[in-house]
Amino acid sequence: MGRFILIFALLTLFAGRLFPADLVRIEPLTDRILCLTFDEGHIDYFSIGQTRYNGNKVYYSKLNLNAAMNPASYQITSADDGAYGAPQHPVAVGRKAKGAEFHNIYDAANPAALLTHWIYLELPQPLQVGATYTVTL
């Protein structure tokens, strides 16, 4: 929402090990809910002279759902918001996933679809306008 002018100092980069998918974006939805968007990869689709059976190149890394859905996987801190002076964990985690790119369903070596995941973090305290927060995965 446009009400919040927040700067997120993103990613103390343990994310590659814990969450293999790419973190694309983080944004506040309300003063108590953050949305993290993860992308599992992309597909270079076949071109002239190739078919979908031999021409697609799939680059992917699946999201670790066990880690992504565990509130202990996240820490939120802030130097200028006292409520987040000490690391805080979300009180709840939600998820939505949707197919983003689609591949040959007959290729067992690669997934039929690459997903985009939206992870929703419900925070224990409201975020403050103008404060800076760090989300560590």
The tens digit of pLDDT for each residue in 18-72 reads 567 889 899 999 999 999 999 987 666 777 777 766 766 776 778 899 999 999 9
Question: Higher model confidence: residue 8 or residue 121?
Answer: 121
> Does residue 13 lie in a domain region?
yes
> Does residue 1 lie in a domain region?
no
CA gap 117, 37 in Å, rounded: 6
pTM score: 0.77
Domain count, the chain: 1
Q: Indicate if the pLDDT at residue 10 is higher than 60.
A: no
> Does residue 102 lie in a domain region?
yes
- How would residue 115 be classed by pLDDT, with cut points 50, 70 and 90? confident
By the 10 Å C-beta count (0-12 exposed, 13-18 middle, 19+ buried), 117 is classed as buried
- Residue partners of 69: CB distance under 8 A and separation at least 6: 93, 95, 119
Residue-range definition of the domain harbouring residue 32: 7-136
Widest distance between CA atoms in the chain: 61
